[in-house]
Amino acid sequence: MKRLKLFLSSNDRYQRYSEISKFIYPGETVLDVGGGEGIISRFTNNDITVLDINKKELTIAEISGAKIIFTDFNNNKLKDGSYDVVVSVSALEHIPQEKRENYLKELKRISKKRIIIFTPTGSVKYDKILYRFKTILGRKDPWTKEHIQNGLPQINDLKRAFPNSKIILTQNAYVWLVIMFLQTIPIINKIFPGVAYVLLKPFNKLKPHTACILVSEK
């Protein structure tokens, strides 16, 4: 039921975690960096730890059965190879560019087997469209604002950081915009984002893409 509610009302988050969970295998320990409410726990039965700086969201993650770590990832005290798999879902774009290199190094250091990253990529023009739409509706959106201010991670930069990684382009820009528009309106957000995604899913793999999944084996 929780997964269905997530699909219907927060389809963008459902898409991210349903996709990255395919690269997490039974018995592996997992650290979800910036994992907030621990949504990853709805998609895998692995030993999950969520690291975040949001205490409120970490409380929800703990109720969901995840272990939690309250800290800034760039200043963490975790040991090398602490977790089999280290996951970063829609977090990299919120980090200022001058700190991204260290962030990626830390993902590598703490991971024993695999790093999985889901991130928006490419141009911020679609983020600007979404931000203008929300501004017209009087809705504050600090997350999209950070996308625009920081600039999105670029595929070439990810390839340099993880030369042997597998990178999968995902999330058609216009399908993403429709879903995000619907999720912005409270009454509509109860069910219509999921319905819209079902109808638009055949177009989701078409260009232009707005995101990618990176999988790097160690």
pTM, entire model:
0.96
Q: Is 26 exposed, middle or buried (0-12, 13-18, 19+ CB in 10 A)?
A: exposed
CA–CA gap between residue 215 and residue 117 (Å, rounded): 7
Each residue of 88-135: pLDDT tens digit?
Answer: 999 999 999 999 999 999 999 999 999 999 999 999 999 999 999 999
Q: Is 169 left (phi over 0), alpha (psi -120 to 50) or beta?
A: beta
Each residue of 36-72: pLDDT tens digit?
Answer: 999 999 999 999 999 999 999 999 999 999 999 999 9
Each residue of 160-189: pLDDT tens digit?
Answer: 999 999 999 999 999 999 999 999 999 999
